[in-house]
Amino acid sequence: MSFVVACTPEHAFDTWTSRATAWWPPDHTVSHERGAEIVFEARAGGRIYERTSNGTEIEWGEIVEWDRPRRLRYLWRIATEPENATDVEIVFRKMGDDTTEVEIEHGGWERLGEIGTAWREANHAGWDGVLPPYRESAALTG
C-alpha cells in the first residue's frame, strides 16, 4: 500500500509513532476503549502496546527497526499469539513539495500456514480502518 500525505517525512513518522493515540480508532484496539494510549517505544526492541485507563498494557508488537524519519519495521501481533506475528515495514519518502509518500508492506503470512489467508484478510480490513484517520491527522497537523 502507498499513499501521499501533505507533510514532511519527520512529521509523517512522528504522527505514526508518537501521536498514534490521537488518530488510532478505538474500534481497532483490543480494549475498544476510547482514550486508550497507543505506545511505540522509540527504539529497536521497543514494544508497541495499548494502555487502558486503568493502566492495563496490551501487547501489539515489537519494533525491529527504528530509523526516523525514513523507515519503521515491526513484528505485529495484535490480537494473536507472539508466534503468529507478521512483518510490517513502513517507508517514509520525501517528495519534492513538503509531501511524503508512505509505503506499507505487510507480510509474513506464509509462516502462519492454514490460518495465514484468513488472518491476512482480517488485517487488510484493519488497514482500511486505520489509514484514513492517519492520513487526515498527518495532513491536519503537518
Q: Is the pLDDT of residue 23 over 70?
A: yes
Q: Quick: pLDDT tens for 39-74.
A: 999 999 999 999 999 999 999 999 999 999 999 999
Q: State the cell numbers at 44.
A: 529497536
For the chain, the residue count is 142
Rounded mean pLDDT of 87-112?
A: 95
Q: What percent of the chain has pLDDT over 70?
A: 99
Rounded mean pLDDT of 85-98?
A: 94
Three-class secondary structure of residue 94 per DSSP: strand
Strands 100-107 and 47-51, by their bridges, are: unpaired
Instruction: Report whether 52 contacts 31 (CB < 8 A).
Output: yes
Q: Is the pLDDT of residue 141 over 70?
A: no
| Topology given in CATH for the domain delimited by 2-141 | Alpha-D-Glucose-1,6-Bisphosphate; Chain A, domain 4 (3.30.530)
Domain ranges of the chain: 2-141
**116-141 vs 9-17: helix axis angle to the nearest 10?**
120
